[in-house]
């Protein structure tokens, strides 16, 4: 008779997330999670089949608390809220971002968020191809901005180095980097999202 299970899926997800946060996504393995939990690797297979299932549990843990109910207001305000909620949940765990893509078709949290975004887009008049492009554009901006904030923040060494480039060869890049170092993270994200939504508004009006 099998032994009773003593771990929950949240326990497994939390252990896997701790591994990812500490050592990066590439370090995630059944063995690493088993060590984190203080158990043998083979014992972990009583709970999950493989690393892929572990990844799915991590995505659910990070995103399951995201509120997918749009607030009252214009469709752009609703999309802004939905996008910012995901950013708030994920930016503390940037290494998890790629998993939101690879598990977008199986994660209930991702599916529910996508359905909420599509409902807002549909209500704003987006149909067919335009709705597809709008959803992908929002996802691309959200994921890309989190990755850039993690790997190449405006406050980081890369921007500082570009600010010191020779002005005779890179006048605009150096000037832009100097200015970029003064842009707060929240403003960078918010203003970039506003630009994205302005483009979607133009698409909705047929101004392609």
Q: Is the pTM of this model over 0.85?
A: yes
Distances (CA, A) of 169 to 4, 98, 181: 68, 36, 20
Q: Which domain holds residue 112?
A: 65-204
Work out how many domains the chain is built from and give that number: 2
Domain boundary among 62, 83, 101: 62
CATH number for 47: 1.10.10.60
Task: Tell whether 31 is covered by a domain.
Answer: yes
Task: Tell whether 157 is covered by a domain.
Answer: yes
For 27-78, the pLDDT digits (tens) are 999 999 999 999 999 999 999 999 999 999 999 999 999 999 999 999 999 9
Do 80 and 152 belong together in one domain?
Answer: yes
**Are 201 and 76 spatial neighbours (Cβ–Cβ below 8 Å)?**
yes
What value does the mean pLDDT take over residues 17-24? 96
Task: Tell whether 80 is covered by a domain.
Answer: yes
Model confidence at 16, pLDDT cuts 50, 70, 90, reads very high
For 131-141, the pLDDT digits (tens) are 999 999 999 99
The CA R_g of the chain, rounded to the nearest whole Å, is 21
Domain boundary among 62, 88, 105: 62
Task: Tell whether 1 is covered by a domain.
Answer: no
Task: Tell whether 2 is covered by a domain.
Answer: no
Q: Left (φ > 0), alpha (ψ -120 to 50) or beta: where does 38 sit?
A: left
For 141-189, the pLDDT digits (tens) are 999 999 999 889 999 999 999 999 999 999 999 999 999 999 999 999 9
Do 58 and 71 belong together in one domain?
Answer: no
CATH number for 70: 1.10.357.10
């Amino acid at each position: 008779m099998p032994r009773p299970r003593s771990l929950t899926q949240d326990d497994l997800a939390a252990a896997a997330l701790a591994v990812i946060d500490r050592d990066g996504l590439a370090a995630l393995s059944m063995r690493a999670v088993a060590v984190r939990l203080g158990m043998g690797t083979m014992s972990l297979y009583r709970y999950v089949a493989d690393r892929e299932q572990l990844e799915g549990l991590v995505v659910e843990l990070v995103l399951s608390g995201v509120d997918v109910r749009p607030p009252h207001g214009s469709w752009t305000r609703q999309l802004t809220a939905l996008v910012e909620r995901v950013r708030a949940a994920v930016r503390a765990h940037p290494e998890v971002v790629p998993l939101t893509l690879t598990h977008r078709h199986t994660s209930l949290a991702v599916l529910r968020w996508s359905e909420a975004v599509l409902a807002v887009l549909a209500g704003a008049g987006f149909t067919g191809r335009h709705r597809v492009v709008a959803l992908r554009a929002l996802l691309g901006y959200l994921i890309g901005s989190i990755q850039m904030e993690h790997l190449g923040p405006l406050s980081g060494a890369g921007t500082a180095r570009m600010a010191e480039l020779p002005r005779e060869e890179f006048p605009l890049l150096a000037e832009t980097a100097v200015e970029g170092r003064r842009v707060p993270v929240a403003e960078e994200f918010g203003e970039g999202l506003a630009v994205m939504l302005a483009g979607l508004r133009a698409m909705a009006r047929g101004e392609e």
